[in-house]
Amino acid sequence: MLLSGIVCATAFGCIRESLPPCPSLRITLTVKDKNYFNVDDAAKLGLMERQEDTLPFRSYVHSLYYILHDAAGRVVVEQPNVRITNDAPTQQVDLPDDLPYGKYTLTVWGNMDDETALGENATQAGMESEGTAANDIYLGSATFDYRYGNETHTLGLERTKGNLLIKAEGLPDNIDFSTKNIGGVYGLVDNGFSYSAPTSVQTALDWTVQNDIQTQTLMCPSESFEGSTLNIVFFDKSQMNDGSRSTLYPSLSPQDISITMGRNEITILRYVYREEENGSGFDIYLRVNGNWELLHEMEID
C-alpha cells in the first residue's frame, strides 16, 4: 500500500498534506532595456555613454516593488519598495510555499522611490508624481500558470519613459538659467503599458558651464507623432527682480517646436545660437536616423 501511495503521488503531482511542500512559484527578474534603442547614435555624438550589458541588476534598476494578484484580482502578496544591495545580474522573487496552485499576475515597478504614485491595486502609476518624475521607471508584468512542474519563470523589466536630450551651443556668456515646458505627453501608465492622462512637464536648470549646455529630461511618450510641443527659454539670472524666479525676464526665447517622445528612445535636439549683423537667432536641429534635420532658422528681434 505504501508503494501504491508513492506511485499515486508521482502520477498526480504534489499532495501538500502528506509530502514536503511543492516547489514555490519563483520569478527571475531581468532588465530588458539596459540601453535606449538609439543610444549608439547619442554615444557617437558624445552626448551619452552606452552602458555595458553585463553590469549588476542594480546598475539599471536600484529598487523594486511588486504585487501579486490572483485570478479574481485579489492581492495575495505585496512587497513594499526595497533597495537592491547585491551585485547579482538578476533578482529573484520567491513567493510563499503555501500559495495554492492557480493563475497569478505579478506586477513589478523598478526605480520608484515613492509608492504614493501607485494607483489602486498598484497596477498603474503616475509618472510625474513625487518619486517618479525624475526617475527612470521600469515596469514588468505577466500572468503565470502556477502548477506542478511549472514553477519557475522569467520576467524582463522595460523602461516606461523616453529621454529628451537638448544641447545648446554658442549662447552669450550672461545666459545661465533655462526653463522647459513640454506639453502633450502622457502622465499615467498601467501594467499593460497602456498610457493615458495627457499632461505637461516643466523643468528649470541652473547652469554651471557657460555657452554650451546639455539637459536631459525623462518623460512618457507623446500622444501622437509630433504631438508634443516644446517651449524652452534661456535666461540671465541677473535680470531677476526681488530674487524671484517667477519674475525672470526671458533673455532668449526660441520658437516653440513639435517633437515626438517615444518609450525607451532618446529625442535629440540642438539649439545653435548665432549673432549676425542683420540680427541674432537660433538654428534648431532634430536628430533623425543618424542625421541632423534643420527644423527652424529663427531670428530674434
The residue ranges of every structural domain in the chain are 22-159, 162-300
Domain 22-159 classification at class level: mainly beta
pTM: 0.88
Under 8 Å CB-to-CB from 60, ≥6 apart: which residues? 31, 34, 51, 138
Under 8 Å CB-to-CB from 216, ≥6 apart: which residues? 163, 164, 165, 166
Dihedral angle at the C-alpha atoms of 250, 205, 135, 73, nearest 10 degrees? -30
Check if CATH label 3.10.450 holds for domain 162-300.
no
The answer to whether the Cα torsion of 139, 144, 150, 151 is positive or negative is: positive
Tally Cβ neighbours within 10 Å of residue 14.
17
* 203, 217 contact by CB (below 8 A): yes
- Is 162-300 the same fold as 22-159? yes
Please give the span between the terminal C-alpha atoms of the chain, in angstroms, as a whole number: 98
Q: Give me the tens of pLDDT residue by residue for the chain, a chain 301 residues long.
A: 444 444 444 445 555 555 566 789 999 999 999 999 999 999 999 999 999 999 999 999 999 999 999 999 999 999 999 999 999 999 999 899 999 999 999 999 999 988 889 988 899 999 998 889 999 999 999 999 999 999 999 999 999 999 999 999 999 888 888 999 999 999 999 999 999 999 999 999 888 777 778 899 999 999 999 999 999 999 888 876 555 555 556 788 999 999 999 999 999 999 999 887 677 889 999 999 999 999 976 554 4
* 220, 161 contact by CB (below 8 A): yes
DSSP 300: E
The answer to whether the Cα torsion of 51, 54, 59, 60 is positive or negative is: positive
